[in-house]
Amino acid sequence: MPVSWIMIILFALAVLGYVLGRRRALASAGGDMRNLHSLPSYYGSHVALFAVAPAVALLAIWLVVQPMVISSSVARSFPDGAISEGSSLSLVMSDVKRVADGLNVAVERGALSAEEAGSVSAGATNIRERLGSVGVALGSDVDSSVLDAAQKYRAYASTGHLIMTLAVLGLALTGFIYGMAQMRAEFRARNIVEHAVKALLVFAASIAVLTTVGIIFSLIFNTIEFFKLYPARDFFFGLTWAPSFGGGSELGMLPLLWGTLYISLIALAVAVPIGLFAAIYLSEYASPKMRAIAKPLLEVLAGIPTIVYGLFALLTVGPLLVSIFGREGLNWMQAGTAVMTAGLVMGVMLIPFVSSLSDDIINAVPQTMRDGSLGLGATHSETVRQVVLPAALPGIVGAILLAASRAIGETMIVVLGAGAAARLSLNPFDAMTTVTAKIVSQLTGDADFASPEALVAFALGMTLFVITLGLNIIALFIVRKYREQYE
């Protein structure tokens, strides 16, 4: 029975459990809701919960564990001599799986009968051809040991699936009966359901956390791989970035880091003053009507995909800068793609981050603070400059740091706006590139995944992650410290 069918049955069981559980609980209270400990819906939910939750959990675990168990037992039964030179067990196992899947498809399409699939031998039929006729392409002819293993794999899988179906449905039914057995008026269904809700929330939260941990680990392992192939000192302190996929690359990080920091710096130099002034206007001077219109408009900027900003940099800002600073003008600039182009456009992208966060923070400064200053005969702008901004400063710094970590992690604008040349230069009209842009180009090339040229992307990613994590932690720390002041 396919998994989707099992899910449908479980769902039906849940609905049935809800209706029956509710009815049974009400019946045990003599039909009077007031005699129940909890509202009737809690009793229904309780039965549905017990019918479905353990069964779904079992199903999920089984689906993850079964392929692992079967693979290892099939692999163990593989004859030693069957693995040819230049190959490995994992490559052979993936062949086995491909053939097993192919047989499944063939049976589904009717090209093979179920018994045929189980008994066919490599000598008698050309498996590759027959599978090819139903659209399953295999890279090479199937040798007999692989075919045997594939058939064994299929046999184990179908047995395992049958056991799983029985176990899951059995558990669901047991849970259903157990839940129903508890349906008495004094049963505290409400408390149990509350616990289940809490468990759901914990589960959701832990998925987010575990994903982060998973990402960090995948970065760490690949970074370690990289440092085994390439000296860490050369990576961190090398001044040249010259990857060549034939080997013998120089993978110094500093030119990329410099590009990242330079572009971010220009972006912040644009975004911080403009964003901050906009925030001050919106929160202190704008009338409520003006604010209601202007603030969402400003936040539209934050909703524009960064690739669109990239196009804007490439097609509008770059040529505009060239016409001023290029050969016809001051002759500082060679082409439209430059640090300045990317920095300016990224600055525009960051304006809503700075302004929106700063606006919230300025609004959080208590009105009594403003009253106190105005009551002493200070003008509005004196109040803003000398009382409101100093009070909001820690929060504003936090907002700026968050914007900075956005700038450092930005990719598309850089790819389109700043060029691809990794170089160490002070001229903001030179093309440069950043860590993120190089991660993309290192991973999308044709390089062998195990080569240092590809693995360097993980080391770069890790570096970037550490930098932005550091910035975020500092920002959160500052913002939190600021919050304590008024609560």
Contact residues for another protein (CB under 8 A)? 287-288, 366, 368-379, 382, 386-387, 390-391, 485
Closest approach of another protein to the CB of residue 276, in Å: 18
CB atoms within 10 A of CB 277: 13
Closest approach of another protein to the CB of residue 359, in Å: 18
- Which residue number, 168 or 388, has a Cβ lying nearer to another protein? 388
3-state helix, strand, coil in the chain (%, to 5): 75, 0, 25
Token pair recorded at residue 397: 């710094």
The candidate with the shortest Cα–Cα distance to 422, out of 287, 225, 215, 255, is 255
**CA torsion, ordered 229, 234, 237, 242, to nearest 10 deg:** -90
Give the amino acid at 30: G
The CA-to-CA distance between both ends of the chain, in Å, stands at 58
The candidate with the shortest Cα–Cα distance to 313, out of 331, 336, 334, is 336
Token pair recorded at residue 480: 């939190």
Closest approach of another protein to the CB of residue 287, in Å: 7
- Which residue number, 244 or 485, has a Cβ lying nearer to another protein? 485
The span from the CA of 357 to the CA of 482, in Å, is: 14
User: For residues 51 and 10, is the Cβ–Cβ distance under 8 A?
Assistant: yes
Closest approach of another protein to the CB of residue 284, in Å: 11
Closest approach of another protein to the CB of residue 482, in Å: 10
Closest approach of another protein to the CB of residue 357, in Å: 19
Closest approach of another protein to the CB of residue 375, in Å: 4
Closest approach of another protein to the CB of residue 289, in Å: 10
Residue carrying the six token digits 């450092």? 408
- Which residue number, 239 or 376, has a Cβ lying nearer to another protein? 376
- Which residue number, 361 or 408, has a Cβ lying nearer to another protein? 361
Closest approach of another protein to the CB of residue 364, in Å: 13
**CA torsion, ordered 7, 8, 13, 18, to nearest 10 deg:** 100
Closest approach of another protein to the CB of residue 398, in Å: 16
Q: Where are the alpha helices (DSSP H) in 304-379?
A: 306-312, 318-325, 339-364, 367-375
CB atoms within 10 A of CB 462: 17
Q: Write the secondary structure of 19-72 as one string of H (helix), E (strand) and C (coil).
A: HHHHHHHHHHCCCCHHHCCCCHHHHHHHHHHHHHHHHHHHHHHHHHHHHHHHHH
The span from the CA of 361 to the CA of 30, in Å, is: 57
- Which residue number, 387 or 403, has a Cβ lying nearer to another protein? 387
Closest approach of another protein to the CB of residue 391, in Å: 5
- Which residue number, 291 or 423, has a Cβ lying nearer to another protein? 291
Residue carrying the six token digits 């300045």? 340
- Which residue number, 135 or 366, has a Cβ lying nearer to another protein? 366
- Which residue number, 335 or 374, has a Cβ lying nearer to another protein? 374
- Which residue number, 169 or 378, has a Cβ lying nearer to another protein? 378
The span from the CA of 449 to the CA of 190, in Å, is: 54
User: CA-based angle 330:347:417, to the nearest 5?
Assistant: 60
Token pair recorded at residue 451: 């080569």
Closest approach of another protein to the CB of residue 278, in Å: 21
- Which residue number, 378 or 440, has a Cβ lying nearer to another protein? 378
User: For residues 169 and 6, is the Cβ–Cβ distance under 8 A?
Assistant: yes
Closest approach of another protein to the CB of residue 401, in Å: 20
- Which residue number, 106 or 387, has a Cβ lying nearer to another protein? 387
- Which residue number, 85 or 484, has a Cβ lying nearer to another protein? 484
- Which residue number, 214 or 366, has a Cβ lying nearer to another protein? 366
Q: Write the secondary structure of 386-422 as one string of H (helix), E (strand) and C (coil).
A: HHHHHHHHHHHHHHHHHHHHHHHHCCHHHHHHCCCCC
User: For residues 419 and 385, is the Cβ–Cβ distance under 8 A?
Assistant: no
